[in-house]
């Protein structure tokens, strides 16, 4: 799952075998080339480590803080010995109504649920935020701790981590406008809220 970690297994038949040199982990780039994985630079910076601890012949690679871009083909390559190919699939949030614009009407004094959710309600996106468009035409993050929405907003994801919907209560006419549910690396859903007087 995105945000999680995964162990890519690779080991010698005899786990006591010591390799002096010659182990490389590679991944296939979008341009179909093999690139060496490094914890010092590039896409895997600070996210990969060899976990051979107890067994020198255990060449497995641990990748953490997974993103959807990590999905693909990997290769554990040992010079003069051979290689193992692995295909990694990273499951993550796919937004329902992604890039679409929804229209919702609610009433002053009431509350409204702004819908936003992943196709698989069990997947939890790494990072998501709710924003609203200010009169100055800028996107501002909605917070229950301060500002216009103070103490009036709450996430309702209780039982489903993939339900990112936002509940706004004690609606005022000022709340009408454009909202955005933004999921890092995945996309966004726009919602236009109309607030009518009772
Ligand atoms: C290799 O090491 C990892 C981490 O300690 C462990 O989870 C895995 O089972 C080991 N593989 C083998 C074949 O012992
Ligand atoms: C998300 O949670 C809210 C509040 O519990 C619920 O009304 C809504 O139906 C849920 N959405 C989905 C897609 O399950």
In 3D space, the residue among 161, 122, 4 whose CA is nearest the CA of residue 70 turns out to be 4
pLDDT tens for each residue of 134-167: 999 999 999 999 999 999 999 987 688 899 999 9
Going along the chain from its start, the domains and CATH numbers come out as 6-88 (2.60.40.10), 101-196 (2.60.40.10)
Give the mutation target among 60, 64, 84 for probing the ligand 1 site: most ligand atoms within 8 A of CB.
60
Residues belonging to the chain: 198
**Once rounded to an integer, what is the mean pLDDT over residues 95-102?**
89
The residue with greater pLDDT, 127 or 116, is 116
Give the mutation target among 156, 159, 189 for probing the ligand 2 site: most ligand atoms within 8 A of CB.
156
The Cα–Cα gap between 67 and 76 comes to 20
pLDDT tens for each residue of 3-32: 778 999 999 888 888 877 789 999 999 899
Least confident among 57-61, 74-78, 94-98, 190-194:
94-98
pLDDT tens for each residue of 27-45: 999 899 999 999 998 989 9
């Amino acid at each position: 799952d995105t945000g999680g970690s995964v162990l890519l297994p690779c080991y010698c038949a005899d786990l006591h075998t010591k390799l002096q040199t010659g182990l490389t982990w590679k991944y296939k780039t979008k341009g179909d080339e093999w690139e060496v994985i490094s914890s010092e630079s590039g896409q895997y910076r600070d996210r990969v480590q060899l976990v051979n601890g107890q067994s020198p012949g255990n060449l497995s690679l641990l990748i953490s803080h997974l993103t959807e871009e990590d999905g693909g083909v990997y290769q554990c390559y040992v010079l003069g010995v051979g290689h193992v190919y692995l295909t990694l699939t990273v499951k993550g949030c796919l937004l329902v109504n992604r890039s679409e614009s929804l229209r919702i009407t609610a009433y002053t004094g009431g509350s409204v649920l702004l819908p936003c959710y992943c196709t698989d309600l069990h997947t939890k996106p790494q990072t998501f935020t709710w924003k609203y468009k200010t009169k100055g035409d800028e996107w501002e993050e909605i917070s229950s701790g301060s500002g216009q929405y103070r103490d009036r907003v709450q996430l309702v994801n209780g039982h489903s981590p993939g339900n990112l919907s936002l509940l706004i209560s004690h609606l005022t006419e000022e709340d009408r406008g454009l909202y955005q549910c933004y999921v890092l690396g995945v996309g966004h859903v726009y919602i236009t809220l109309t607030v009518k007087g009772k």
